[in-house]
Chains A and B, each alone.
Chain A
Amino acid sequence: MEPLLPLFRLPNSVIIEVIKNFHLKQLFAFSLVSTKTKDLVTSLGIKTSNIYIGVSNVLRVSVISGENYLCLNFYDESKYVNGLSPVDITLPVDVCFEYKGKRMQASTPFNFSAWINYIRSIFCFTLPLNIRFYGGCGKYGIELLKDTTGNVNDLFVSPLVTDVMSRTILKHFNTPSRLFLLKNPFEDGCEVQKFFIQNFQFMEYHDVYSLDDMLLVNSEIVRFTHRTTHKQFNQFLQHWIRGSNPRLQFMFLIIKKINVASREVNGIRCMEMSEDAKREIRQKHNLPIEVDMVKIKRKDGTSAVIAIEDIEHIFFFRFIVLH
């Protein structure tokens, strides 16, 4: 039999030194020993950078602190994974995680919402959570999940989520700071435009988009990953010069290869940039050295840079508004 360790005969300062050596997973397991251990873990004031909730067949909560991470699974027993019936997240549930090749399970009688509060508490995370929806998420009540998480920072909706479910998700999680929408779930193409109009901090969209969609963008940063045409981008630039998209700071898009050797981009006057200015932009936006760029100016005097990265058969365009 393993010798007993009278840990609590040691002063709190020593116990704290002991648990500072723990990985997040071990800290989590330790916090569940007693109320006192929970308080000790909380007293560490761990700097948690983010908490993500992944919703698929299972509910997965990932806690990230520096290079340390903890991945907690809920409803990962086969009866849930293989079952299609709705899961009631208001009932108590066990939490499981892998540590050193072992499956660890805690059976504290918390429901999912109480677990989230517990995790937030011991890992000192007060910022909005992030949530990601994948295929299989349909058995969880979206409204209950929204009640549990509150407003989220990141909302990610995978293309594997059914259109009906995607629409429900977008309806309930309607105020994220960052939206990752990988497929247009609306039958009427125009309906997705209400998301372009919203003033997100960041939006990533992987489906087909029109010039109208581009002109409605009200986010600060937008990433379009579906290929567009040079013509559409050129039309967008002409509108921007005349004052469209006043909040836009950065736009990424992909265009099939065209000849961009000319400094004239279909009637738009482009200005040369010094090597120093280009280097500064590359550093600020983590762009590779091969990225070339030109500058344009709108009528109110605001400048923007069009950075072009040549990748085999396509160009990555980055439209960067300067201040």
Chain B
Amino acid sequence: MKIFVTVKQVPDTSGTVAVNPDGTLDRASMQTIINPDDMNAVEAALTLKDELGCKVVAFTMGPPPAEGMLRELMAMGVDEGVLITAREFGGSDTYATSQIIAAAIDTYGVEPEDIILAGRQAIDGDTAQVGPQIAEKLHLPQVTYAGEIQKDGDVLTVKRILEDGYMTVKVHTPCMITCIKELNNPRYMNIGGIFECYNKQVVTMTYETLKDHPLIDKSTIGLLGSPTNILTSFTPPQKGAGMMLAGDGKETTDKLAGILAAKHII
């Protein structure tokens, strides 16, 4: 039994975000982090590994420096990393991305007992589309927004969190589960793990590795193979500053209430 975890290195959007004059993101000036929801997927995989002693393999698609992120995950306990990287893969939208990652996972080999875990969504795009689309391309069932996962033989019982409640879904392996932050608290790297991670294997899959896979075709990958195109990107204008009311006493709140009443807001 194996657990595949798909992870993404993303710019840290919680800090200051620099935008180029042409409206694109100045990625060079930003810190990269492991996508937060993906950390919950990794933790879920490691929790299952602690219980069942299975192998955990992390998959990422990105430029070669993403290997550093795979090493960090190995220091947490992930057994092996797969780095999917090629110029041909650049500019892929969610459709093309899932096509490539599905091909990579399929090339590695999915067995009946296996589970694929992904984060719900990445903070750079917030689409939540790649997980379900990988599942579709691999013809596997999916459960998204997992807040609890229990494994009993080849059946997983997943608590799927909705806006107004939850569903309990039973699903057979092999399957895709996307994880949310309520699922767990990701562990830290440990000292032993940091030493060990450099003895573990990172497999690189390039266009050459995957080009004969049925999912990989120049017309379905990369910028040209992406069904969606960016028409334009822009920064929203900042709203002008409003009226600051001096003081924090009753006279100030009276004044505010007076303005609101005069404008028929209250």
- State whether these chains interact: no
Interface residues, chain A, with chain B CB atoms under 8 Å away: none
Interface residues, chain B, with chain A CB atoms under 8 Å away: none
